[in-house]
A and B are shown apart, each in its own frame.
Chain A
Amino acid sequence: MAALCRGRHRWRRTIHFRVFTRNLTGKYDYDLVVIGGGSGGLACSKEAAQLGQRVAVLDYVEPSAKGTKWGLGGTCVNVGCIPKKLMHQAALLGAAVKDAKKYGWQISGTVCHDWPTMAAAVQNHVRSLNWGHRVQLQDKKVKYLNLRGSLMDEHTVKGLSKAGKETILTAKNIVIATGGRPKYPTNIPGAMEHGITSDDIFWLKKSPGKTLVVGSSYVGLECAGFLTGIGLDTTVMVRSIALRGFDQQMAALVTDYMEAYGTKFAWQCAPKRVDRLPSGDLQVTWTDTQTGNEHKDTYNSVLWAVGRAPETKALGLDKLGVKLNKKTGKIVVGADESTSVPNIFAFGDISEGRPELTPTAIKAGKLLARRLAANSTELMNYDNVPTTVFTPLEYACVGLSEEEAEKRHGKDGIEVYHAFYKPLEFTIAERDASQCYIKVICEQGGDQRILGLHFTGPNAGEVTQGFALGFQCGATYSHLLQTVGIHPTCAEEVVKMNITKRSGLDATVTGC
């Protein structure tokens, strides 16, 4: 029998009769089964279906420790980019209202923020996105299953429903795009019991009140930023540095701005324990690692933003020999998103060495689908990916940090142009622009190819998207000089850059 000649796991298949007969004939239930219905999984499955494949996508949300759960769409739609940007906008509008008075608007009294109104509006929008994705999958003939997927063997996926019912699917190819979830600290008593994470903050029905945000990567800073902006007493506890992995000069500008605008920072501090007081409030005990002293303070909420862990536990990967990175736990992948098992692929946040971003997951997913379904050979280009941190003062960048550029080219191999500028809108509003800054890192000599571009200021993401295109085309400093600015904007300052760090001259932009 052909089956006996095939593999060591063949005998297991006799238990699932339906699967056995299907494999005898060489046919699978699906051409492609995608585990994970987030940014990457949805893009991959829809693209594959459009190319004529029989596709199924499994999406399942394990509730957070606090019981929060959400619908189809993954982290970005439900507990990431989308609600984050909307709450960031809510905070920016609060600042705009304050500025408005100086521009002539007659606003009586003080303006205050109502969390339930904002939360309901954000949650409603997210739910409409859940529905939109559901309709799209149906329309594009992708089979959607609200089941927890795990791998039984290289061609078999088991789906488990909330009630514990099992469904078995066979597939020619399997794609893992299960993403990640926030980590809880493991050595802090009371952390899981009393704290929340980014999985919960956007779904709270009531205001989190006075909040301690532990963690200073973009999740922590963005959350602390909008909480401060809507008027809440917010503290960020930083173990060592902020925005690890990002250009540290820019990171300092971001946190300086936040401190100037009311976010408190507990630098070089580490939490020790969290206890609930009879009042219902949370008491946090922490150590100032510089002095060694212990401190206590009371908060209404503690938000842990101490990293994200890949969702691999329940997948059954070790059984199949899918190689994971020992340190991060993420799936090791090749340039074509392949894993150590021939017909199993992985991409997005779950894969090692990739940016944890929606646009890269979407693009990688589409290209993977084309390679699997239509014999394409195009690989995902993970270079030159622009990104933005949506802190109160937004920070956008594309290319290398100054640290990385120095490491690769040597301090003498680069020329750094920089400028402190003031957005026109800040003038009448009497806003401090000390941290509005642009840095363009170029190769020394020749046309001076641009290696990195960094921008802090309002609408940083909008400003930088277009420059990312130039970056992708190999823009040089000469190209920058040839480009005429649009006036009056903040973005035009990028093409007017002329002071180098090396010169030591004052980099403050003067009037036009």
Chain B
Amino acid sequence: MTHYEEVNVHGYEEFCQAVSERKGKDIFTYFSGDKDDKGKSWCPDCVKAEPVVRGEMTHLPEGSVFIYCQVGERAYWKDPNNDFKKTLKLSGVPTLLRYGTPQKLVEEECFKADLVRMMFTED
């Protein structure tokens, strides 16, 4: 039994749904390119960063939520008008975002375990 809730979503609408159902909670989201049926993402940086992020999840605050969000296929992501880019203002994948705050780690920043741990453990 973990001290945080893990949620898996696929696409912008499922993401918004998951967030709206958890109002008032500390929500951390890891945005990644879609994984194929072999479990590998089209986004090489996402593949590299995921074990780093997962390795720090024990440090998530008590009662928080961790959303693993697959954003879509590469073509969808490359479109500059996709919902994630337009509304959530994401600039790249992977992005680790503390929802509702300016706290985020983008791309290579997600490779650094100390930065991920810092985000999970500091206010």
Where the two chains meet, the residues of A that have a C-beta atom closer than 8 Å to any C-beta of B are 124-125, 127-128, 130-131, 134-135, 138-139
- B7 touches A (CB below 8 Å): no
Q: A138 contacts B115, CB within 8 Å?
A: yes
List, sorted by A's number, 11 A–B pairs whose CB atoms are closer than 8 Å. Answer: A124-B102, A125-B102, A127-B102, A128-B102, A130-B102, A131-B104, A134-B122, A135-B118, A138-B114, A138-B118, A139-B112
Q: A139 contacts B102, CB within 8 Å?
A: no
B residues in contact with A130, CB < 8 Å: 102
**Whole-angstrom distance between the alpha carbons of A124 and B100 in the complex?**
10
Residue from the list A125, A127, A134 in contact with B118, Cβ < 8 A: A134
Q: A131 contacts B103, CB within 8 Å?
A: yes
Nearest chain A CB to B110 CB, angstrom units: 12
Q: B102 contacts A135, CB within 8 Å?
A: no
**Whole-angstrom distance between the alpha carbons of A53 and B81 in the complex?**
45
Q: A131 contacts B109, CB within 8 Å?
A: no
- B101 touches A (CB below 8 Å): yes
Q: Besides A125-B102, A134-B118, 19 other CB < 8 A contacts? A: A124-B102, A127-B101, A127-B102, A128-B102, A130-B102, A131-B101, A131-B102, A131-B103, A131-B104, A134-B122, A135-B105, A135-B109, A135-B115, A135-B118, A138-B114, A138-B115, A138-B118, A139-B112, A139-B115
Most buried by B among A127, A130, A135: A135
From B98, which residue of chain A is reached at the shortest CB distance?
A131
Tally of B interface residues using CB under 8 Å: 11
Nearest chain B CB to A54 CB, angstrom units: 16
B residues in contact with A135, CB < 8 Å: 105, 109, 115, 118
From A125, which residue of chain B is reached at the shortest CB distance?
B102
From A129, which residue of chain B is reached at the shortest CB distance?
B102
**Whole-angstrom distance between the alpha carbons of A131 and B119 in the complex?**
9
A residues in contact with B104, CB < 8 Å: 131
B72-123 residues at the A interface, CB under 8 angstroms: 101-105, 109, 112, 114-115, 118, 122
Nearest chain B CB to A37 CB, angstrom units: 14
B residues in contact with A131, CB < 8 Å: 101-104
A residues in contact with B101, CB < 8 Å: 127, 131
Most buried by A among B102, B114, B118: B102
Nearest chain A CB to B98 CB, angstrom units: 9
A residues in contact with B103, CB < 8 Å: 131
Nearest chain A CB to B9 CB, angstrom units: 24
The number of residue pairs between A and B whose CB atoms lie closer than 8 Å in the complex comes to 21
B residues in contact with A134, CB < 8 Å: 118, 122
B residues in contact with A138, CB < 8 Å: 114-115, 118
**Whole-angstrom distance between the alpha carbons of A135 and B104 in the complex?**
10
Q: Which 5 A-B pairs have the closest CB atoms?
A: A128-B102, A127-B102, A131-B103, A131-B102, A138-B118
A residues in contact with B114, CB < 8 Å: 138
B residues in contact with A125, CB < 8 Å: 102
**Whole-angstrom distance between the alpha carbons of A469 and B104 in the complex?**
37
Nearest chain B CB to A61 CB, angstrom units: 12
A residues in contact with B102, CB < 8 Å: 124-125, 127-128, 130-131
A residues in contact with B105, CB < 8 Å: 135
**Whole-angstrom distance between the alpha carbons of A135 and B117 in the complex?**
11
Nearest chain A CB to B96 CB, angstrom units: 12
**Whole-angstrom distance between the alpha carbons of A124 and B89 in the complex?**
14
**Whole-angstrom distance between the alpha carbons of A138 and B103 in the complex?**
14
B residues in contact with A124, CB < 8 Å: 102
From B105, which residue of chain A is reached at the shortest CB distance?
A135
**Whole-angstrom distance between the alpha carbons of A125 and B103 in the complex?**
11
B residues in contact with A127, CB < 8 Å: 101-102
**Whole-angstrom distance between the alpha carbons of A134 and B103 in the complex?**
10
**Whole-angstrom distance between the alpha carbons of A130 and B103 in the complex?**
9
From B104, which residue of chain A is reached at the shortest CB distance?
A131
Nearest chain B CB to A126 CB, angstrom units: 9
**Whole-angstrom distance between the alpha carbons of A134 and B101 in the complex?**
14
A residues in contact with B115, CB < 8 Å: 135, 138-139
Nearest chain B CB to A144 CB, angstrom units: 9
Nearest chain A CB to B25 CB, angstrom units: 19
From A123, which residue of chain B is reached at the shortest CB distance?
B102
A residues in contact with B109, CB < 8 Å: 135
From A135, which residue of chain B is reached at the shortest CB distance?
B115
**Whole-angstrom distance between the alpha carbons of A134 and B112 in the complex?**
14
**Whole-angstrom distance between the alpha carbons of A394 and B22 in the complex?**
47
Most buried by B among A130, A138, A139: A138
Nearest chain A CB to B24 CB, angstrom units: 18
**Whole-angstrom distance between the alpha carbons of A128 and B104 in the complex?**
9
Nearest chain A CB to B94 CB, angstrom units: 16
**Whole-angstrom distance between the alpha carbons of A51 and B25 in the complex?**
41
**Whole-angstrom distance between the alpha carbons of A138 and B114 in the complex?**
8
From A141, which residue of chain B is reached at the shortest CB distance?
B114
From A137, which residue of chain B is reached at the shortest CB distance?
B118
**Whole-angstrom distance between the alpha carbons of A134 and B123 in the complex?**
11
**Whole-angstrom distance between the alpha carbons of A172 and B83 in the complex?**
52
Nearest chain A CB to B44 CB, angstrom units: 22
From A71, which residue of chain B is reached at the shortest CB distance?
B123
**Whole-angstrom distance between the alpha carbons of A390 and B112 in the complex?**
40
Nearest chain A CB to B121 CB, angstrom units: 11
**Whole-angstrom distance between the alpha carbons of A138 and B112 in the complex?**
10
B14-62 residues at the A interface, CB under 8 angstroms: none
B residues in contact with A128, CB < 8 Å: 102
From A127, which residue of chain B is reached at the shortest CB distance?
B102
A residues in contact with B122, CB < 8 Å: 134
**Whole-angstrom distance between the alpha carbons of A127 and B103 in the complex?**
8
B residues in contact with A139, CB < 8 Å: 112, 115
From B115, which residue of chain A is reached at the shortest CB distance?
A138
From B103, which residue of chain A is reached at the shortest CB distance?
A131
From B109, which residue of chain A is reached at the shortest CB distance?
A135
